[in-house]
Amino acid sequence: MIETRRSPSLSEGDKLTGTRWWREIGWRHVIGVIVIGYAIFPIVFVISASVNATGSLVGSSRLFSSFSTANFQALNETQFWSWIGNSLWIGAVTSIGSVLMGAAAAYAFSRFRFSGRRAGLMTLLIVQMFPQLLTFVAIFLLLTALGDLHPLLGLNSRIALIMVYLGGALGMNTFLMYGFFNTVPKELDEAAKVDGASHLQIFFVIILRLVAPILAVVGLLGFIGTFSDYLLAGIILTDESKWTVAVGLFQFVSEQNSARWGLFAAGAVITAIPVVVLFLVLQRYIVSGLTAGAVKG
C-alpha cells in the first residue's frame, strides 16, 4: 500500500498570510502595477490626442475630454496610406532577407570548420559595435554615385534603401542564430547525409524548421527596426510618394509653429497596429528564441 503524504507547501501553517504574504509576494504586485501604469500612460495619452478635435497636445492634457474622428479622416487627405504601404513592403522584404542571410551565415559557422572561422565571427561582432547610422554620409555619397549608373541603386529608390538595411543586418543576426544553431544536434545532419541529402536540403528542409523560434525573433526585430527607422529613410527617399511612415509622420510636426499633433497621434496609433499584430502572432517564439541560443555557444 502506497502511503500518500501531503506536501509541506500545502499545509495550513505554511500559507502566506498577513505580513509574511506582503513581505514575500505582495510588494511585487505593487511594483508590477506601477511599471504597467508607467508603460501604458504614453500609449493612452497618444490615443487621447488622436481623438481630440483640437489637434494639439496641450488641449489633450485632460484625457479623452472630447471624442472625434476628424484626425483620422484628415489622414486620407495626405499620402499616409502610401507611406504605410512603403513601410510594410520595405520592412517585410528586409526582415525576410535578413533572416535568410543570417541563417545561411549562422549555418556555415555552426556546421563547417574552415580557416578564418573564428576570425570571421569576431569581425562580425566588432563591425556590429559601430551603428549603421555612423556611415550615413558614406552611404549618401555611394548611392549618389551608383544612381548615375543605375537609378534603382541610387537615391530615392526603395530597392537601394533595402540594400542598405540588409548590408547592416548580418552581424548581430548571425550571432543570435549561431548560438541557436549549435543547440541542434549534428547527428541530424549526419543521418540526412546518409540518406543522400545535400547541404542545401538539410538547411531548408530540416534545420530551418527546427530553428523557427530564432527565425521569428530575427524577423520581428528586423521588421520593427526598419519600420520605425527615420534617418536612413529620410536621407535616401526624397520623393514624398516613396517616404516611409516614419519620415511622413515627422513632417506633420517638423515645424514648431504649424505642428499638427492630432494628425501625428492618429497616424502613430494606426502605425502601431501592424507591429502589435506581428508581435502577438510571434509571441510564443520570442522567449524561446532569445534564450535557447544561450544554452550552447
- Same domain as 233, residue 92: yes
CB 70 within 8 A of CB 58: no
pLDDT of residue 97: 93
- Same domain as 170, residue 104: yes
- Same domain as 175, residue 59: no
Is residue 174 in a domain?
yes
Number of domains in the chain: 2
Is residue 200 in a domain?
yes
Note the pLDDT tens digit of each residue in 69-102. Answer: 899 999 999 999 999 999 999 999 999 999 999 9
- Same domain as 131, residue 30: no
- Same domain as 204, residue 110: yes
Helices (H), the chain: 18-21, 27-50, 70-74, 80-111, 117-128, 136-149, 158-167, 170-181, 186-194, 199-201, 208-210, 212-227, 231-236, 245-253, 261-281, 283-291
* pLDDT top residue among 125 and 288: 125
- Same domain as 44, residue 129: no
Domain that holds residue 129: 79-294
- Same domain as 150, residue 258: yes
Q: Look over the chain and give the mean of its residue pLDDT values, rounded to a whole number.
A: 83
Is residue 74 in a domain?
no
Provide the CATH number for the domain around residue 103: 1.10.3720.10
Note the pLDDT tens digit of each residue in 167-216. Answer: 877 777 888 888 888 888 888 888 888 888 888 888 888 888 888 888 98
pLDDT of residue 42 exceeding 70: yes
- Same domain as 144, residue 34: no
